[in-house]
């Protein structure tokens, strides 16, 4: 299936999303029957984070629309920036449609920057669904900042941020905070869900969440006066320009905050590298992947179920906490995005390599 689904994003692309042809055969997909089967969605992160929220939001609708109405089990395999979970998937998953990897931006980034640790070829797996997701940055009110207009007050303050590691999804934050010129102490080895709890306890004073995690969890901290949203990273439009996140139109993008901080628009090699990381961390943020050798009828059955899920009125009513506001790429439409997210220009590679070495003592 080669389809792009859009939830109220016509203004983002400047036109209504185009539905491409459907090369799979419905009849072939209908021959697949998962009756009485148990399907495992392998989430290589602990419960509570964005990947977990994403998986649990999709699971009941996939059960409804997959042939035979199988039972879907979410199996969390935390640790190591998703590398152990991805490798376990590679070792154990059979190409029978009963094993699906939930891939995240951490998985993509660690595949790019620590490829020798991966046993699977991420960009060769069979894409079922790819879901871009934005990110919102928020801080503790104890820092004296009430909105992005006050961001200059953060300069010189001691900021503490926790995350999985310097080469995973947190590169969205490390590069962002570095380009803003902020003084940050990093604590690594902690997943997003536990980091959010630590932020609530006051152990960290700056944090971020992807859209589902923010809407479901961090927004409650904002309502309780325990967090102040500053800005959303933003998304890339069809011309490669950074625009405001369609889910957070009242929050400035990183480019706007950069201009507030420095008095000029971002540009140059550092900003181009930042946008490449945004491609990995936002545009290819979440995906469902099947083993590379999965037979076409099974792949088509999964892609058909995803299409039916996205068309389901009940799902659309709940989509704001899962995918709403962003285009959804089904099947082969996802493959070029994954390719772009796992391929860097020589200039960008050199900038990132130097950044990781000088700022985080990591050698690529």
Tell me, what's the pLDDT at 29? 53
- Tell whether 276 is covered by a domain: no
Picking from 57, 226, 52, 49, the residue whose alpha carbon sits closest to that of residue 143 is: 226
Mean pLDDT value of segment 103-111: 91
18 has pLDDT over 90: no
Residues 241 and 286 in one domain: no
10 has a pLDDT exceeding 90: no
Number of structural domains found in the chain: 2
Considering the domain architecture, whether residues 145 and 111 belong to the same structural domain is answered as no
- 3-class DSSP assignment, residue 363: coil
Q: In the predicted model, what is the mean pLDDT of residues 11-20?
A: 33
Is the pLDDT score of 20 beyond 80? Answer: no
- Top pLDDT among 345 and 22 is at 345
Q: What is the DSSP string of 94-159?
A: -SSSSEEEEEEHHHHHHHHHSGGG-SS-GGGSEEEEEE---EEEEE-GGG---SGGGGGGGTTS-E
Q: pLDDT tens digits, residue range 117-154?
A: 999 999 899 999 999 999 999 999 999 999 999 999 99
Q: 50 pLDDT band (50/70/90 cuts)?
A: confident
In three-state secondary structure terms, 217 is helix
Asked if residue 213 lies in contact with residue 53, where contact means CB atoms within 8 angstroms, the answer is yes
Quick one: tokens of 228? 């102040």
Q: Residue 124, CB half-sphere, CA atoms under 13 Å: how many? A: 7
How confident is residue 299, by pLDDT bands cut at 50, 70 and 90?
Answer: very high
Q: Domain ends where: 239, 266, 293?
A: 266
Q: 2 near 306, Cβ under 8 Å? A: no
- Span 203-262, pLDDT tens digits: 999 999 988 889 888 999 999 999 999 999 999 887 888 999 999 999 999 999 999 999
3: helix, strand or coil: strand
Q: Is the pLDDT of residue 165 over 60?
A: yes
Residue 201 has pLDDT above 60, yes or no: yes
Pair 82, 144 in one domain: no
127 with 141, same domain?
no
In a domain, 271, yes or no: no
Question: Greater confidence, 212 or 346?
Answer: 346
The reported pLDDT for the residue numbered 39 is 98
**pLDDT of amino acid 325:** 78
Are 23 and 83 found together in one domain? yes
Confidence label for 68 from pLDDT (cuts 50, 70 and 90): very high
The candidate with the shortest Cα–Cα distance to 54, out of 212, 235, 195, is: 212
- Three-class SS of 247-288: CCCCCCCHHHHHHHHHCCCCCCHHHHHHHHHHHHHHHCCEEE
* Structure token pair of residue 56: 């649990």
Q: Are residues 120 and 166 in the same domain?
A: no
Q: Report if residue 363 sits inside a domain.
A: no
pLDDT of residue 320: 64
Please check whether residue 293 lies inside any domain of the structure.
yes
CA 254/CA 136 separation, integer angstroms: 10
Determine, yes or no, domain membership for 290: yes
Could you tell me whether strands 71-76 and 38-43 are parallel, antiparallel, or unpaired per DSSP bridges?
A: parallel
Is the same domain home to 156 and 208? yes
Alpha-carbon distance of 95 to 168, in angstroms, equals 27
22 assigned to some structural domain: yes
More confident residue, 43 or 320: 43
Task: Write the CATH number for 313.
Answer: 3.40.190.150
Domain assignment present for 149: yes
**Do 129 and 142 belong together in one domain?**
no
On the question of pLDDT at 327 being above 90, the answer is no
Instruction: Report helix, strand or coil for 245.
Output: coil
What are the structure tokens assigned to 50, written together?
């964005």
Residue 364 placed within a domain = no
pLDDT at 336: 86
* Three-class DSSP category at 294: coil
| First-last CA distance in the chain | 36
The predicted structure's pLDDT at residue 106: 87
Q: Are residues 111 and 149 in the same domain?
A: no
Q: Which domain holds residue 122?
A: 2-133+281-341
How confident is the model over 80-98, as a mean pLDDT? 95
The Cα 204–Cα 20 span in angstroms is 45
Residue 62: closest CA among 298, 321, 344, 306 = 306
Q: Among residues 266, 291, 323, which one ends one of the domains? A: 266
CATH code of 255's domain: 3.40.190.10
Contacts of 278 (CB under 8 A, 6+ apart): 172, 233, 234, 235, 236, 242
pLDDT score recorded for residue 30: 63
Same domain, 18 and 120: yes
Per-chain mean pLDDT for the chain: 89
CA dist., res. 104 & res. 42, Å (int): 11
17 Rama class: left (phi>0) / alpha (psi -120 to 50) / beta: beta
pLDDT at residue 103, rounded to an integer: 95
Residues 164, 124 share a domain: no
Q: Is the pLDDT of residue 307 over 80?
A: yes
Domain final residue, candidates 220, 239, 266:
266
pLDDT at residue number 28: 52
**Please, what sign has the CA dihedral across residues 77, 48, 340, 39?**
positive
Average pLDDT over residues 2-26: 37
Residues 20, 128, single domain; the answer is: yes
Q: What is the pLDDT of residue 26?
A: 52
């Amino acid at each position: 299936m080669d389809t792009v689904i859009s939830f109220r994003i016509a203004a983002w692309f400047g036109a209504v999303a185009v539905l491409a042809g459907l090369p799979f055969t419905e009849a072939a997909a209908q021959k697949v029957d998962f009756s009485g089967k148990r399907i495992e969605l392998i989430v290589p992160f602990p419960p509570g984070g964005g990947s977990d929220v994403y998986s649990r939001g999709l699971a009941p609708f996939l059960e409804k629309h997959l042939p035979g109405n199988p039972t879907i089990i979410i199996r969390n395999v935390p640790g190591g920036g998703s590398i152990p979970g991805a490798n376990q998937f590679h070792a154990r998953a059979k190409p029978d449609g009963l094993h699906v990897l939930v891939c995240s931006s951490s998985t993509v980034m660690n595949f790019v920057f620590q490829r020798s640790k991966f046993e699977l070829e991420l960009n060769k797996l069979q894409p079922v669904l790819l879901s871009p997701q934005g990110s919102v940055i928020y801080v503790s009110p104890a820092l004296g900042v009430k909105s992005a207009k006050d961001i200059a007050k953060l300069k010189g303050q001691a900021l503490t941020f926790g995350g999985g590691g310097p080469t995973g999804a947190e590169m969205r934050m490390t590069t962002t905070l570095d380009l803003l010129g902020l003084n940050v102490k990093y604590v690594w080895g902690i997943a997003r869900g536990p980091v959010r709890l630590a932020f609530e306890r006051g152990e960290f004073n700056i944090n971020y969440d992807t859209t589902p995690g923010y809407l479901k969890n961090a927004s409650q901290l904002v309502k309780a006066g325990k967090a102040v949203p500053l800005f959303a990273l933003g998304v890339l439009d069809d011309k490669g320009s950074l625009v405001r996140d369609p889910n957070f139109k009242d929050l400035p993008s990183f480019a706007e905050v950069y201009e507030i901080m420095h008095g000029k628009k971002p540009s140059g090699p550092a900003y181009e590298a930042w946008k490449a990381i945004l491609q990995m961390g936002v545009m290819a943020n979440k995906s469902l992947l099947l083993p590379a050798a999965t037979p076409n009828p099974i792949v088509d059955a999964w892609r058909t179920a995803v299409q039916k899920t996205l068309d389901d009125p009940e799902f659309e009513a709940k989509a704001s906490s899962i995918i709403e506001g962003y285009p959804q790429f089904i099947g082969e439409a996802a493959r070029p995005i994954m390719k772009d997210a796992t391929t860097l220009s020589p200039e960008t590679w050199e900038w990132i390599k130097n950044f990781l070495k000088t700022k985080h003592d990591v050698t690529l």
